[in-house]
Amino acid sequence: MIFLVIFLITTLNITNKKEKEMSSYRDYVEENIDSLIDLQMQEQEDNDDKELLSTCCGVGGIGNIHEFDGEHYGLCARCKDRCAFEYEDEDN
């Protein structure tokens, strides 16, 4: 019985901590939503003129290059292997 009580108290403490973290994050987003949107739009504008190049061979991709969580993935046009893609440097 004592183990069950300790387990429930621990679970409630973890849940309360997670709720506070999420609430804090939501508050941050609500307070800064305009600047976060502006930042994302500026990053998109900066990358519009740049080409995505494979990290393996440094060439473009075949077909669609997919984006997930800020990372780009697809098939390399040269080696035909799956790889990550990054925007070309400003110097190129």
Domain of residue 79: give its range.
Answer: 50-92
On whether both 38 and 75 belong to a single domain, the answer is: no
**Model pTM score:** 0.45
On whether both 57 and 35 belong to a single domain, the answer is: no
On whether both 45 and 69 belong to a single domain, the answer is: no
What's the whole-number average pLDDT of the chain? 82
- Mean pLDDT for 19-45 is 84
Whether pLDDT at 5 is above 70: yes
- 90: its two tokens: 């400003």
On whether both 45 and 55 belong to a single domain, the answer is: no
Number of domains in the chain: 2
Residue 84 banded pLDDT, cuts 50, 70, 90: very high
Beta strands, E only, 1-92 = 52-54, 61-68, 71-76, 82-87
In whole angstroms, give the CA distance from residue 25 to residue 23: 5
On whether both 89 and 54 belong to a single domain, the answer is: yes
Short-list 51, 44, 57, 42, CA closest to 89? 51
Whether pLDDT at 90 is above 60: no
On whether both 38 and 9 belong to a single domain, the answer is: yes
On whether both 44 and 58 belong to a single domain, the answer is: no
On whether both 54 and 69 belong to a single domain, the answer is: yes
DSSP-derived secondary structure for 40-63: HHHHHHHHHTSPEEETTTS--EEE
